Structure 1
Amino acid sequence: MVSIEGSGGENHQKLNMYAAGCAIVASMISIIFGYDTGVMSGAMIFIKEELKIHDTEVEILAGILNICALFGSLLAGRTSDYIGRRYTIFTASIIFMVGSILMGYGPNYGVLMTGRCIAGIGVGFALMIAPVYSAEVSSPSYRGFLTCLPELGISIGVLLGYISNVAFGGLSLKLGWRIMLGVAAIPSLALAFGILKMPESPRWLVMQGRLGEARKILLRVSNSEEEAGARLRDIKEAAGIDVNCNDDFVKPDPLKKTHGEGVWKELLLRPTPAVRWILIAAVGIHFFEHAVGIEAVILYSPRIFKKAGIVGKQNLLRASVGVGITKFIFVFISTFFAG
Structure 2
Amino acid sequence: MALDAEAPLLAAASKPDGAAATPRARNKYPFFCAVLASMTSVLMGYNVAVTSGAQIFMADDLGVSDRQIEVLSGAINIYSLIGALLAGWTSDRLGRRLTIVLTNGFFLAGPLVMALAGGYAALMAGRFVAGIGVGYALVIAPVYAAEIAPASSRGLLSSLPEIFINGGVMLSYVSNFVFSGLPVHLSWRLMFAAGVVPTVFLAAGVLTMPESPRWLAMKGRRDEAKLVLDRTSDTPAEAEQRLQEIEEVVTGGGGGGSGASVWKEAATKAGVRRVLSIVLTLQFFQQASGIDSVVLYGPRVLAAAGVTSNTLLLGLNVLFGIAKAGSILIAMALTDRVGRRPLLLASTGGMTATLLVLGSVFAVFAGAKDDAAVATVAVAVVVAFVCTFSVGLGPLAWVYSSEILPLRLRGQGAGIGTAMNRVISGVVTMTFISLYGAITMAGAFYLYAAIAAASFVFIYACLPETRGRSLEDMEELFHTK
**CA contact 2:218–2:256 (8 Å) conserved in 1:** no
**CA contact 2:217–2:225 (8 Å) conserved in 1:** yes
Distance 1:233 1:152, change over 3 A: same
Q: Distance in 1 between matches of 2:84 and 2:155?
A: 21
Task: Give the corresponding residue for 2:111.
Answer: 100
Task: Give the corresponding residue for 1:262.
Answer: 261
Structure number with higher helix proportion:
2
Task: Give the corresponding residue for 1:33.
Answer: 44
Q: Aligned AA for 1:325?
A: I
Q: What secondary structure, in the 3-state scheme, does the structure 2 residue paired with 1:23 have?
A: helix
Q: What secondary structure, in the 3-state scheme, does the structure 2 residue paired with 1:240 have?
A: helix
Instruction: Pick the aligned partner of 2:135 from 101, 124, 131.
Output: 124
Distance 1:195 1:211, change over 3 A: same
Q: Distance in 2 between matches of 1:48 and 1:306?
A: 24
Higher mean C-alpha deviation, range 96-105 or range 329-338: 329-338
Deviations 1:47-71 (A, max 9, x none): 2233222222111101111111111
Task: Give the corresponding residue for 1:236.
Answer: 247
With a CA cutoff of 8 Å and minimum separation of 6, indicate the structure with the bigger relative contact order: 1
Q: Distance in 2 between matches of 1:327 and 1:134?
A: 21
Q: Distance in 2 between matches of 1:110 and 1:174?
A: 17
* Cα distance, 1:305 vs structure 2: 6.8
Q: Distance in 1 between matches of 2:23 and 2:68?
A: 55
**CA contact 2:145–2:157 (8 Å) conserved in 1:** yes
Instruction: Pick the aligned partner of 1:284 from 281, 286, 291.
Output: 281
Q: Distance in 2 between matches of 1:145 and 1:45?
A: 38
Identity %: 42
* Cα distance, 1:9 vs structure 2: 6.9
Q: Distance in 1 between matches of 2:115 and 2:314?
A: 19
Pairwise mapping of residues 246-325 of structure 1 onto structure 2 (< 5 A)?
Answer: 257-259=256-258, 261-267=260-266, 269-272=267-270, 274-300=271-297, 308-311=307-310, 318-325=315-322
Higher mean C-alpha deviation, range 221-230 or range 285-294: 285-294
Task: Give the corresponding residue for 1:336.
Answer: 333
Q: Distance in 2 between matches of 1:127 and 1:270?
A: 28
Q: Distance in 2 between matches of 1:303 and 1:187?
A: 33
**TM-score, reference length from structure 2:** 0.61
Q: Distance in 1 between matches of 2:61 and 2:299?
A: 17
Bigger radius of gyration among the two: 2
**CA contact 1:72–1:121 (8 Å) conserved in 2:** yes
Deviations 1:153-184 (A, max 9, x none): 11111111112222222222211111111211
Q: Aligned AA for 1:119?
A: A
Distance 1:113 1:316, change over 3 A: farther
Q: Aligned AA for 2:278?
A: A
Instruction: Pick the aligned partner of 1:202 from 200, 213, 234.
Output: 213
Distance 1:225 1:299, change over 3 A: same
**CA contact 1:135–1:143 (8 Å) conserved in 2:** yes
**TM-score, reference length from structure 1:** 0.85
Instruction: Figure out how many residues of one structure are paired with residues of the other and give that number.
Output: 315
Q: Aligned AA for 1:115?
A: G
Distance 1:166 1:11, change over 3 A: farther
- Please tell me whether residue 176 in structure 1 is matched to residue 214 in structure 2: no
Deviations 1:197-255 (A, max 9, x none): 101111111111111111111100012211111001111111117xxxxxxxxxxx9xx
Instruction: Pick the aligned partner of 1:79 from 68, 87, 90.
Output: 90
Pairwise mapping of residues 10-89 of structure 1 onto structure 2 (< 5 A)?
Answer: 11=23, 14-89=25-100
Provide structure 2 residue ranges, at least 5 long, that are not aligned to the other structure.
1-16, 337-481
Distance 1:189 1:123, change over 3 A: same
* Cα distance, 1:283 vs structure 2: 2.2
Distance 1:293 1:165, change over 3 A: farther
**CA contact 2:95–2:211 (8 Å) conserved in 1:** yes
Instruction: Pick the aligned partner of 2:323 from 316, 321, 326.
Output: 326
Q: Distance in 1 between matches of 2:227 and 2:112?
A: 38
Q: Distance in 2 between matches of 1:61 and 1:10?
A: 57
